[in-house]
Amino acid sequence: MAVYRRVSEVLVRTGWLNVLRRSSSATRGLKVGESNPNITASLKITTKETLKDDSILPFSAFLTDNFGRRHNYLRISLTEKCNLRCQYCMPEEGVKLTPRGQLLSTTELLTLARLFVREGVDKIRLTGGEPLIRPDVVHIIAELKKLEGLKTVAVTTNAINLARLLPKLKEAGLDLINISLDSLVPAKFEFIVRRKGFHKVMEGIDKAIELGYNPVKINCVVMRGFNEDELLDFVALTENKPVEVRFIEYMPFDGNKWNFKKMVSYQEMLDGIRQRWPNMEKLEGAHMDTAKTFRIPNFKGQVGFITSMSDHFCGSCNRLRITADGNLKVCLFGNSEVSLRDIMRSGASDEELLHIIGAAVGRKKKQHAGMFSISQMKNRPMILIGG
Ligand code: SAM
Ligand code: SF4
């Protein structure tokens, strides 16, 4: 009972008891007693094992939202720290870092990962901050790879440490790599990331190709007046390298001096590239794909566009995020977060945690507020919410 009381206290403190109650009818398979604080007794548990609906595969009710979206993809931020200072991600003066004791420990992180995988998550992406500066990143990947049901472990990295670490990461089981690179001109790269390191990133890309990653994804945030003149050079990289260059529409975040004019839309990028390569053909995308992908005949690699702003993919969003300080975020553009760390540290059981997660997923909105509203929204900087 002491544990239940502690859980209830945390729920009341964080406002989540009300959330649970309000969202209970909306969260399929969950029932919340109106006034009973004993969460376990008042909730009817429906797990992946017991839920049989009309779909092909059973999927956890906790990870299914009110619009039928199944969240099988979890992004975990390993750290808030970074060895670069990208202008669009991080304010120049840096961000206020969470004290160490308030960050998830490796054991807590793996406990959460195990829970999500048990409920049906089959892909985990490690992000940050810069995930490869976490000292035990190799250990974390090796442990994640032991989770039955987890098919893919991916990492999004700025690649400064990649060439050095990749052999070990690969041995640990790393499946996919996304590398961020916004300019192919060293001086421009150093201007945008406010640090040196262009050649290390290029080495990282080559090492990933050498070790057989295919495609190596290269994320390029396109900003008017900065790198939109390099689009063709990025596309040309796909001629001889098995890379997927993915152009990302610049997104607004607190501190990145969002200016709508800086965003280059998907259509504008596509038109520009088609002038040079009119025969670039669209590839059939999987339902959950966030990128619209293309290939130029006879090129080894491909080109993708992440249209988070001009043509959002909320309808097929299957992602959840856990921040380095243990908050669950159901939408990158929403500011509602729930602290799984506090719930865990209060001694909650897996089932109790699941109900909190289920309630948060149940409150996920149908779509984000649209690009004009997002640019006005208060949100934590990208670096703190784990890209
Ligand atoms: N440090 C790693 C990296 O840079 O790849 C992982 C974290 S970073 C926040 C994840 C991704 O978010 C990167 O590809 C980065 O380019 C992208 N990103 C950051 N701020 C962005 C913004 N304002 N608009 C669009 N993409 C952004
Ligand atoms: Fe660091 Fe990645 Fe943000 Fe750049 S985009 S500052 S590399 S976290």
Residue 275: CB atoms within 10 Å: 9
The alpha carbon of 250 and the centre of ligand 1 are apart by a number of angstroms equal to: 9
- Pick the atom of ligand 2 nearest to 130's CA: 8
Residue 279: CB atoms within 10 Å: 9
Q: Which of 10-19, 27-36, 349-358 has the lowest mean pLDDT?
A: 27-36
Collapsing DSSP states into helix, strand and coil, what is residue 337? strand
- Decide which of 152 and 61 is more confident: 152
Predicted confidence (pLDDT) per residue in 298-325, tens digit: 999 999 999 877 777 788 889 999 999 9
Q: Which ligand is nearest to the CA of 386?
A: 1
DSSP structure class, residue 285: P
- Pick the atom of ligand 2 nearest to 160's CA: 7
> What region, left, alpha or beta, does residue 370 occupy, with left being phi > 0 and alpha being psi -120 to 50 degrees?
left
N residues, the chain: 387
The alpha carbon of 281 and the centre of ligand 1 are apart by a number of angstroms equal to: 27
| Ligand 1, atom 17, residue with closest C-alpha | 387
The alpha carbon of 192 and the centre of ligand 1 are apart by a number of angstroms equal to: 12
Average pLDDT, the chain: 83
The alpha carbon of 180 and the centre of ligand 2 are apart by a number of angstroms equal to: 8
E strands, 142-242, in order: 152-157, 176-180, 216-222
Rounded to an integer, what distance in angstroms lies between the CA atom of residue 117 and that of residue 144?
10
- Domains of the chain by start residue, with CATH: 73-314 (3.20.20.70)
Q: Is the CB of 245 under 6 A from ligand 2?
A: no
**Total-model pTM:** 0.85
pLDDT above 70: residue 55 = no
Name the residue of 247, 248, 380 whose CB sits within 8 Å of the most ligand 1 atoms, as the mutation to test its pocket.
248
Burial class (CB in 10 A: 0-12, 13-18, 19+), 186: middle
At 291, is the pLDDT very low, low, confident or very high (cuts 50, 70, 90)? confident
Measured CA to CA in angstroms, residue 131 lies from 27, 72, 156, 318, 329 at distances of 33, 21, 7, 22, 18
Measured CA to CA in angstroms, residue 326 lies from 103, 177, 257 at distances of 7, 23, 27
Looking only at the bridges linking them, the beta strands covering 319-322 and 327-329 are antiparallel
pLDDT above 50: residue 10 = no
Rounded to an integer, what distance in angstroms lies between the CA atom of residue 344 and that of residue 341?
5
pLDDT above 50: residue 86 = yes
Q: Which ligand is nearest to the CA of 77?
A: 1
E strands, the chain, in order: 73-77, 123-127, 152-157, 176-180, 216-222, 243-249, 281-282, 291-295, 302-306, 319-322, 327-329, 337-339
